[in-house]
Amino acid sequence: MRGRPKNAQPEITANKILIASTELFADQGFHGASFRTIAKASGLSIGTIQHHFGTKERLYQACVAAMYEELGQVLEGLAEFLDEEPRTFLEHAVIHSFDFGLAHKTSLRLLTRTIQDQGLPSAIRSEHADPILKTASETVSAALNIDLSQASFGIQSGIFLIVRYALASQRELNDFSLGTDLQPLEAVRAHLVDVVPSLIMGR
């Protein structure tokens, strides 16, 4: 039986810190959460947290960066649909993005709170946000044969909608589905599939 890799435990510990920190930063903001509350939530010592991430600012940025790294995997997963008809490609993109949002609500809450409280840190923007938007815009522009600026604006508008619906409460979801025979999440998913491609394609 093979033993655990030597670096496995530090990775597990760092991930445990990131999970607890993301939740606290999302709920309390950067200034509201402290190393003490993060240590309590993670079951680790303040010294251990500082050993892995140094300062609270670096830990905060690591939490935001982790979400963008996972979002990059979503974009990679869309490569198999590039040969599809343009609208079909966009529908797949919307579904994948919405499902990602549903699975990462805490990270999305952290991201929206970050933008509201202080704006996206320049390091996160230059290393993660801007490259992902550039890649997505270029991919969509080429796949749909539309202007790059149109693709960029459409994608960002679509992201606002997808994030808002992904963070909706159950009560809001119930309200959104009024007048349909679909379950709340399916009603929202169908609405996004109908609306977001039109935003991007301009029709």
Given a cut of 50, is residue 3 above it in pLDDT? Answer: no
Given a cut of 60, is residue 139 above it in pLDDT? Answer: yes
Q: Domain segments of the chain: what residues? A: 63-201
CA atoms of 131 and 186, how far apart (whole Å): 31
Please spell the DSSP secondary structure of 2-49, one letter per residue.
PPPPTTHHHHHHHHHHHHHHHHHHHHHHHHH--HHHHHHHHT--HHHH
The two tokens of residue 105 are 């609500």
Cβ burial of 43 (10 Å; 0-12, 13-18, 19+) is exposed
Mean pLDDT estimate for the chain = 87
Q: What number is the average pLDDT over the span 150-167?
A: 93
Residue 203: what pLDDT?
66
Read off the pLDDT band of 47 (50, 70, 90): very high
Residue 6: what pLDDT?
45
CB hemisphere CA count around 191 (13 angstroms): 18
Read off the pLDDT band of 124 (50, 70, 90): confident
Alpha helices in 122-181 (DSSP H): 122-124, 130-144, 148-166, 170-176
Structure-model confidence comparison of residues 144 and 49, the more confident one: 49
Radius of gyration of the chain (CA): 19
Residue 66: what pLDDT?
86
CA atoms of 26 and 5, how far apart (whole Å): 32
Q: What is the pLDDT of residues 88-120, one digit of tens each?
A: 888 988 998 899 899 889 988 988 888 888 787
Are 67 and 107 within 8 A, CB to CB?
A: yes
Q: What is the pTM of this model?
A: 0.81
What's the chain's length in residues?
A: 203
Residue 143: what pLDDT?
82
